[in-house]
Amino acid sequence: MRKRYTIEIAATSKLVVFCPHELLQDTVLKKIAFGSSSIEVDFVPHSKNKNSIVISKEIQKLLLFPDFAIKLYVFVDQHVLTIGPLVGIFTAGFTPFPIRPVGDRTNFFAKLLSVKTSVGALPFVFGEQHINWEKGSINGYFFHDNSWQTFEVPFPHVIYDRLPNRKSERNPKLVKVKETLQHDYLIPWYNPGFFSKLDIYERLQQDHSVSFLLPETHPFSSFSLIENMLSQYGHIYIKPINGSLGLGVHQILYDRSEDEYYCRYQDREGVNRLRKYSSLEGMFQTVFANRNLDKMIVQQGIHLLRHEQRPFDFRIHTNKDDSGVWHVTALAAKIAGRGSVTTHTRSGGEIKTIAEIFQPEECHFYTEKLEKAALLLSESITNNMEGIIAEIGFDLGIDKHGDIWLFEANSKPGRSIFSHPELKEFDQLTCKLSMAFAVFLTEQSIYHPEDVIIW
């Protein structure tokens, strides 16, 4: 049975752990472990506080346990009492400034680390430069008592990947760190990489439980492919396979009555453009002159529902909880800016709650429909993609017939929807479940390592 105890530190040098009698009833405990550290100690029952475990100052130093009391989970296996989970959040882009150690993302990480008390996990942020391979320790950034503090801790039980972009993900140094910690130290690593739009499409297309949610999508191959899709759908999107934030997205429309082509896109200065062309060739020579079309996909255009004459779609966050079960944790509508090819706020888009878009009955109907689709997609991605996935951000649309469509799935979703005042609590919920899943993953790695560890 899973239970949390307050871990207290006593001013003594003895290698003695005082713990509730219930932990000593069914097994003989010989070691205490924290992260990758473990030492042999004596266990003595105490009756003073059934909800606390007291370790000596000497044990705290040997285990590299941070010098503050906190309520954590306890796992008992093979005569070892493990306290945790210790969660390493791996990222890049550190600064030399103590109050802003991760630059513009410092506030997000502070929010993420602040859920430790409610979740019962001990998270810290680190980069490759903070690892001491010889000692098997990390100088991690903790957010404690509303300030950033650094503590030397052992290698964590699990690692949550928060690398900021594909460039850092491809960095050979960081790739090596990930491989070493996963394969040599057997540390489970969750949310391990950015998704490719084409890869997601090709894998989900094979799954009949979700394939009906996918718009027709192909790698760019020829003008005839575009002509055929325009003839069938009236408009299409051309997107970078590994794009994000709506960058590089182009909408192409064909006006049958005038035999003219239109291209809507955002130029390099961030201005929304709509240009007319008499031929596809002319459009591509102008708009796509400096783009590598081999790295683009062509996607069916969907006639989305509109609000105040502007198309809108939805961002839905899903997270696994501390039992490994998927939940919808946030849902918001994103309305396209005037003349924008996407609904991103950086292109003039606007965030609204679903209740601000629909009347109550419609709101309930579409909320259920969107949440069901997001949970189906989450399960499918879990089953069809490599790695341990515990968090996804979906961009879903609803067409004029009320059908749901998947536009994108993001393994590291942006958080712009949480700027809406009515979505603040969901911001907190996504942070909480991101850390709560670490409890489940730690438990699995101790009791069922074959299910979660890459050997």
**Is residue 453 assigned to a domain?**
no
- Of 49, 84, 119, which residue constitutes the final position of a domain? 84
Q: Are residues 356 and 208 in the same domain?
A: yes
CATH code, domain with 77: 2.40.40
pTM as predicted? 0.93
pLDDT digits (tens, 9 = 90+) for 396-427: 999 999 999 999 999 999 899 999 999 999 99
Q: Which of 48, 66, 84 finishes a domain?
A: 84
Mean pLDDT of 211-233: 92
**What mean pLDDT do residues 380-384 have?**
95
Could you tell me the residue range of the domain that residue 261 belongs to? 217-300
Tallying the residues shown for the chain, one arrives at 455
Which among 44, 68, 84 is the end of a domain? 84
Residue 124 sits in the same domain as residue 57: no
Please write the tens of the pLDDT for every residue from 257-306: 888 999 998 887 778 888 999 998 888 888 887 777 888 899 999 999 99
What pLDDT shows up at residue 245?
A: 64
Q: Are 183 and 101 in a shared domain?
A: yes
66 vs 153, 300, 452, CA distance in Å? 7, 53, 27
Sign of CA dihedral 376, 382, 385, 389: positive
- Which CATH number belongs to the domain containing residue 338 in this structure? 3.30.470.20
Total domains in the chain come to: 4
Of 338 and 16, more confident? 16
Would you call the peptide bond into 66 cis, given omega within 30 degrees of 0 as the criterion? Answer: no
Residue 15: the pLDDT is 96
Which pLDDT value is given to residue 354?
96
From the list 432, 289, 301, 420, the residue with the least C-alpha distance to 355 is 420
Q: Are strands 158-161 and 86-90 parallel, antiparallel or unpaired?
A: parallel
Q: Is residue 447 part of a domain?
A: no
Same domain, 253 and 346: no
Q: Is 390 a member of any domain?
A: yes
Q: How confident is the model at residue 197 (pLDDT cuts 50, 70, 90)?
A: confident
| 397 and 251 co-located in one domain | no
Residues 431, 347 within the same domain: yes
Average pLDDT over residues 236-260: 85
373: its two tokens: 């689709």
Higher pLDDT, 41 or 27: 41
448 located within any domain: no
Let me know whether 134 and 50 are in one domain: no
CA torsion angle 11 15 20 24 (round to 10)? 180
pLDDT at 1 over 70: no
What's the confidence (pLDDT) of residue 144?
A: 93
One-letter amino acid at 198 equals L
CA nearest 393: which of 328, 321, 316, 313?
316
How confident is the model over 344-353, as pLDDT tens digits? 776 778 999 9
Mean pLDDT value across residues 100-113: 96
pLDDT higher than 80, residue 393: yes
> What local confidence, expressed as pLDDT, does residue 351 receive?
94
Are residues 329 and 406 both part of a single domain? Answer: yes
Flag whether pLDDT at 332 surpasses 80: yes
Computed from CA positions of residues 218, 224, 226, 232, in that sequence, does the dihedral angle turn out positive or negative? negative
Q: Mark whether 291 and 252 lie in a shared domain.
A: yes
Residues 130 and 75 in one domain: no
Spatial separation of the C-alpha atoms in residues 203 and 384, rounded to whole Å: 6
Q: What is the pLDDT of residue 246?
A: 64
Inside any domain, residue 50? yes
Where does 120-195 have alpha helices with state H? 166-170, 172-179
- 427 in the same domain as 336: yes
Task: Read off the DSSP letter of residue 216.
Answer: P
In a shared domain, residues 350 and 236: no
The structure tokens listed for 327 are: 């939940």
- The least confident of 218-232, 284-298, 322-336, 360-374 is 284-298
Using DSSP's 3-state secondary structure scheme, residue 269 falls into coil
In a domain, residue 64? The reply is yes
Q: Are 255 and 283 in contact (CB under 8 A)?
A: no
Structure tokens, 210: 């979700």
